[in-house]
Amino acid sequence: MSVFESKVLVNKPIKDVYDFLADMNNHGQLMPENVIGWQADKDVASFEIQNITKLSLKIDNRITNREIRIVPAEKPPFEMELKWVLADLGNQTEAVFTIDANLNMLMKMMASGPLQKLTENETQRLAVIFS
């Protein structure tokens, strides 16, 4: 498995950050501009990464104020798991976003940069939303 991770401090209490991330409707606000056709409900989101692939993701597990695990809702181009892990720091929240992806050598060469950039983009946008 290849692991891509980004961490950010958010200037809001953990409950606010958790409530936002626990609803897939809100994840569209975290996506980069090459993500189009975002459709979501509380548990599932479908979208297209422009000129690359279509994906459907679902929240597989929620641990209140601690963790949100997201997995493919349909067969993806490669096995993956996305996870938000939150830590309560009083009036701040530490949010760590991780993508675990099962990439073969060719996919790893092609996808590592974009997947790392995606984790960083999502954590930065989360911080901006709550600033």
Render pLDDT for 51-99 as a digit per residue (tens, 0 to 9). 667 889 999 999 999 999 999 998 877 889 999 999 999 899 999 999 9
pLDDT of 67 reads 98
For 2-129, CATH gives 3.30.530.20
pLDDT of 111 reads 81
Asked if pLDDT for residue 25 goes beyond 90, the answer is yes
pLDDT of 121 reads 93
Domain boundaries, the chain: 2-129
Return the minimum-mean-pLDDT range out of 36-40, 72-76, 118-122: 72-76
- Decide if 115 contacts 100 (C-beta within 8 A): no
When pLDDT is averaged across residues 29-33 and rounded to a whole number, the result is 90
pLDDT of 113 reads 85
